[in-house]
Amino acid sequence: MSKPNDFATVSELPCGMLSNDELNQILEARHGDPFHALGMHTAADGALWVRCFLPGAQSVEVINGTDKRLRGKLGKRHEAGFFEGPLKATDRFHYRLRVTWHDGQQAIIEDPYRFPPVLGEKDVWWLAEGTHLRPYEILGARVRELDGVIGTSFAVWAPNASRVAVLGDFNFWDNRRHPMRLRRECGVWELFLPEVPEGARYKFEVRAANGHVLPLKADPYALQSELRPSTASVVSHLPDYVPATEERRRANAHDAPVSIYEVHLGSWRRKNGHEWLNWDELAESLIPYAQDMGFTHIELLPVSEHPFDGSWGYQTIGLFAPTARFGDPAGFTRFVERCHIAGLGLILDWVPAHFPTDAHGLANFDGTHLYEYADPREGFHQDWNTLIYNFGRTEVRNFLVGNALYWLERYGVDGLRVDAVASMLYRDYSRKDGEWVPNQYGGRENLEAIAFLKRMNEVVGAERPQAITAAEESTSYPAVSRPTFDGGLGFHYKWNMGWMNDTLRYMARDPIHRKYHHNELSFGLMYAFSEHFVLPISHDEVVHGKGSMLKKMPGDRWQQFANLRAYYGFMWGHPGKKLLFMGCEFAQNDEWNADRSLDWHLLEHGPEADMHRGVQRLVRDLNHFMRHPALHQRDFDGNGFEWIEHSNAENSIASFIRHGADGSMVVVVCNFTPTPHNGMRIGVPRLGRYVERINTDSAYYGGSNVGTPFSATYAEHNGVSGKAHSIVVNVPPLATVMFEWQG
């Protein structure tokens, strides 16, 4: 066989032989249409030819795929490993290649360039249209059988690239060996590689339209990734579909008790002082702890793969891959299953607002601003030095909506807490005049992001109605947790950042000054039922110089603990679902540090161990008492809340009633001064026995043990505070007391 430069023009080439120009493109990793050059082809004279590029091969024969009968020997056109030649056949057939390598070893292999397209016509249509609800089923690396052969199909969206190749362990990371086919209808490059197994590492080499070769790209749809600092994607099994259950639907309902334990897995607890626990070790320790503490849900800071530990997972690149920090995806599957066996829901923090600029990630993916807005006034987050998804692009919206369904359906998680929603809603978020682009109507709202959020919530509601979504939204944007058909964004819950800021500001004040700021305590009830609120004490409140929850409290050491216990009592009595960040449940002394374990030793020894254990006992009891119908059934119904006294600013006392849908009732009395009030008369609407169920001043919690005698009192006919009846109780200093009405 002749060398490529033996033929000056195409007309001089024998019929069926590849042109010199295309051959050079193959050898130089520039060919953008490999199926035109490689595989089986019919020449102009009707003869069948096979062409292949196999670096390291000495000779190549074409054999019948079933009986291994020899059908032709290919000539070596170029020493780099390019072979081609005619066959003794005119009708196409299933063939295989018998290769003799330079070391004399012989192997029979499948030719990737003999296989039909990977994507079906409906998949192509839905991808182009932006309506494919589960694009992860066909994009990325998926182990499958094609034409009777087991292998892995690779598919990646890069519509503006001139060439894309898949590189990996299976081809010695040689960028020449496996260029991909472009499906122009949807901009997806695809290739089926026989015998590539699970566990194989891979990346994509993308050549931009101008010929520039970009840094190797990780797969946006990878189901598994390497542990940082390595950045390759890993071929992994698509998790099985997890059926929805009535039990989980009820546990996630608006009228269910919900108390969420927010956890950063890397710093909840470590072994040997510095090592992360793996998924199974976390299942053995974290799940029983959260269950014993009475939490109903665990919420994990983002577990999607991310390159930088210091981002806590909020700058994710592998949106479909559970981070390798704690093991493989199968381990995460077991963790979710263990949560549900224990009766715990699992919520994931989810980050569709932005992504990091790392070269192996989504940035400039095909040589253009594919996933991000091109204009930095729209596409660059100044606060976090990250890029903003282009929510106006159908394929990007499809990518994100599909990812939401993936975690809910394929791992069976109970919900997604959507991070940084405020930054998505407004184009001028954290920007000065001239640094942002108005929408088409001249306004500041990001209409594309709003449409995306509505679409995501609608799809989740239709496809996974048992699941919940919660918005971290810090502005007064209306109807965040109302259905889209009612003009809302469609979230199930909204974090009540206003309540959190107001009440923490109040608690930080010296009790002597609190009477002048009583509205900070009560104002949240002015709008408590305008949304479906979660009351969040999250990681953001105990980091970056804000101090721990305990350190926020004023006074001497005893008063700090007493203030914190009183605040937790008020929080659990207040309408709304509850969220508490890890460590806050035992009054962690120091600010959260993501690089080390929580200070569990505070519970075991030291002069304040009893006080820390007391706070922990209180949170446990609050969570268990929250199962009382009055404290959860009507969290979002104004008829479930009734003020007794909201204007007793002089004594910094607030008292109110929580009503259950079943007629049950709990009276909550909060005293935010160090002055006890013995024999205080509290108005109530009904006669009967009122039993003290929670007293944050109990000695059991580390308090002074002031309480109502015999822990019970009976209502009398003389009413106060506009109520027909009253009870006489002892109100402890810096404490919250809850009384259950027993009729």
Q: Are 294 and 626 in contact (CB under 8 A)?
A: yes
pLDDT tier for residue 639 given thresholds of 50, 70 and 90: very high
Catalytic residue among 61, 111, 262, 472: 472
Q: Are 690 and 715 in contact (CB under 8 A)?
A: yes
Return the bridge partners of 653, or none. Answer: 648, 671
As a whole number, mean pLDDT of residues 37-48 equals 92
> What is the pLDDT at residue 606?
87
> What is the pLDDT at residue 12?
64
DSSP of 314-376: SS-SEEEEE-GGG--HHHHHHHHHHHHHTT-EEEEEE--SEE---TTTTTTTTSS-SSB-SSH
As a whole number, mean pLDDT of residues 471-484 equals 95
Catalytic-residue membership of 472 = yes
As a whole number, mean pLDDT of residues 337-345 equals 97
CA angle 52, 57, 61 (to 5 degrees): 60
Average pLDDT, the chain: 95
As a whole number, mean pLDDT of residues 236-260 equals 96
Q: Where are the alpha helices (DSSP H) in 252-301?
A: 265-268, 279-292
What is the tens place of the pLDDT at every residue in 249-289?
A: 999 999 999 999 999 999 999 998 889 999 999 999 999 99
> What is the pLDDT at residue 429?
94
> What is the pLDDT at residue 698?
97
Task: Decide if pLDDT at 11 tops 80.
Answer: no
Measured CA to CA, the distance from residue 117 to residue 680 in angstroms comes to 79
H-run or E-run covering 379: helix 376-379
pLDDT tier for residue 1 given thresholds of 50, 70 and 90: very low
Q: Are 542 and 588 in contact (CB under 8 A)?
A: yes
Measured CA to CA, the distance from residue 521 to residue 570 in angstroms comes to 10
> What is the pLDDT at residue 743?
86
Task: Decide if pLDDT at 384 tops 80.
Answer: yes
Reduced to 3 states, what is the DSSP secondary structure of residue 452?
Answer: helix
As a whole number, mean pLDDT of residues 505-510 equals 98
> What is the pLDDT at residue 45?
87
Sequence-distant (6+) residues with CB within 8 A of 589 are: 548, 550, 551, 599, 602
**Greatest Cα pair distance in the chain:** 112
Strands (E), 515-673: 533-537, 577-581, 641-648, 653-659, 665-671
Bigger pLDDT: 5 vs 721: 721
Catalytic residue among 419, 585, 621, 635: 419
Task: Decide if pLDDT at 90 tops 90.
Answer: no
Domains in the chain and their CATH numbers?
4-110 (2.60.40.10), 121-234 (2.60.40.10), 246-495 (3.20.20.80), 635-741 (2.60.40.1180)
What is the tens place of the pLDDT at every residue in 120-175?
A: 999 999 999 989 999 999 999 999 999 999 999 999 999 999 999 999 999 999 99
What is the tens place of the pLDDT at every residue in 525-556?
A: 999 999 999 999 999 999 999 999 999 999 99
As a whole number, mean pLDDT of residues 599-620 equals 96
> What is the pLDDT at residue 611?
98
pLDDT tier for residue 8 given thresholds of 50, 70 and 90: very low
pLDDT tier for residue 427 given thresholds of 50, 70 and 90: very high
10 Å CB burial of residue 643 (0-12, 13-18, 19+) is: middle
pLDDT tier for residue 2 given thresholds of 50, 70 and 90: very low
pLDDT tier for residue 293 given thresholds of 50, 70 and 90: very high
**What is the arrangement of strands in the sheet containing 95-101, beginning at the earlier edge strand?**
39-42, 48-53, 82-86, 70-78, 57-64, 95-101, 106-109
As a whole number, mean pLDDT of residues 55-68 equals 94
Nearest to 212 by CA among 360, 364, 80, 355: 364
Both structure tokens of 170: 């299976």
Measured CA to CA, the distance from residue 174 to residue 218 in angstroms comes to 16
pLDDT tier for residue 5 given thresholds of 50, 70 and 90: very low
Q: How far is CA 112 from the centre of its chain?
A: 35
> What is the pLDDT at residue 10?
45
